[in-house]
Amino acid sequence: MKKVLISATLLLVSLEIMAGPKNVANGKFLFEDWGCKSCHAIGSQYNQDATKGPDLKGIFQRRNADWIKKFTKDPQAMIDSGDKDAVEMHKKYGTVMKKFKMADNEWNDIFEFLKSQK
């Protein structure tokens, strides 16, 4: 019985660590719930007003994962730091994406969702 419990716990722990369909689904929910969809299209989904923010389809193919993490955590700080890509985008769109008070695990789920949108 103890063994079964231990393996069940281990399984749960590894499921938590591994990103799975559950994370992607939650990421989609968060993307909509936090209002990302009001400024970003993903291909033919969501807001098609391309003046608000870039289309995020294939974002993880276009950009480095560390860059995406850093940028989304604090867009204004990234622009202020003089990062070439952030400054270029900022010139193009005129608005600055706001800083979201979101937990790291929520960001991770959003990233899993965006990774799935190739």
With b for 16 or more beta-carbon neighbours within 10 A and e for fewer, the 10-45 pattern comes to eeeeeeeeebeeebbebbbebbeeeebbebbbbeeb
Is 60 a binder of ligand HEC (CB under 6 A)? no
Stretch that binds ligand HEC, among 1-9, 10-18, 63-71 (CB under 6 A): 63-71
Is 63 a binder of ligand HEC (CB under 6 A)? yes
Number of residues located near ligand HEC, criterion CB under 6 A: 24
Stretch that binds ligand HEC, among 1-9, 12-20, 49-57 (CB under 6 A): 49-57
In whole angstroms, give the CA distance from residue 82 to residue 106. Answer: 27
Is 26 a binder of ligand HEC (CB under 6 A)? no
Q: Which residues bind ligand HEC (CB under 6 A)?
A: 34-36, 38-40, 52-54, 56, 59, 63, 68, 71-72, 75, 89-90, 93, 95-97, 100, 110
